[in-house]
Chain A
Amino acid sequence: MNATSPAWVDALTATLVVTGAITALIGSFGLLRVKTFFQRVHPPSLVATVGTWGVTLGTVVQSSFVTARPYLHAVLIPIFIALTAPVTTTLLTRAALFRARQRGASDVPPPPASTNNPAV
């Protein structure tokens, strides 16, 4: 392992990681700021996409130069997040819609007439 990496590699890594971290900060601030739950589902997807990809690609670039071979298995993390984050969001939004209908909230659409399942 050589301890030094070229200056442009350090600059590229810093750009990617700082972009990902600032995007994650914006996404989490949106989670705090946005008013209703069904709007609040959207900002954390910034963390799951640009945040995760930025930080992980920075790791891939830096570690590939430090260890002098392709360090690609860090890409497993954003691929796994890209597979699981939509599943979690869909399950949670279905549950929230079901609970809003159980509560008798007036700002959610009624269930379609063709089904008996209140969670659809």
Chain B
Amino acid sequence: MSPLLTWALLFAIGCLTVAMMFALIRMVVGPRAEDRVLAFDCLYLDTMLVIVTLGLLYRSSSYFEAALLIALFGFVASSAMAKFLARGEIIE
């Protein structure tokens, strides 16, 4: 792997870490519950991108399954929280 690609991947991981920090600040600040769920939605997408980039950096294909699982469970979690906000219960 050329040094250009290594530095580009490190820069991308840095950008995504700052993006995760922005989403985390929005999750702490709020102000309402739906803002926090939206920040969680953005946060798991950023985390998934960090894991895909790490898989590219370490040239390992096992990061792909982790990223796919994070996408799957993030969808389930945020849609369940949206349902809870709308109805007050998840399974009715």
Residues of A within 8 A of B (CB): 3, 5, 7, 10-11, 13-14, 17-18, 20-22, 24-25, 27-29, 31-32, 37, 40-41, 44, 47-48, 51-52, 55-56, 58-59, 62-63, 66, 73-74, 76-77, 80-81, 84-85, 87-89, 91-92, 94-96, 98-99, 119
Contacts and interface: CB of A to CB of B under 8 A. Distances in A.
Interface residues of B, number: 49
A31 B42 CA distance: 8
Contacts of B33: 99
B38 A40 contact: yes
Given A29-B22, A95-B83, A47 B53 contact: no
Contact of B83 (A10, A14, A91): A91
B71 A11 contact: no
Given A21-B12, A31-B42, A77-B71, A56 B19 contact: no
Contacts of B71: 77, 80-81, 84
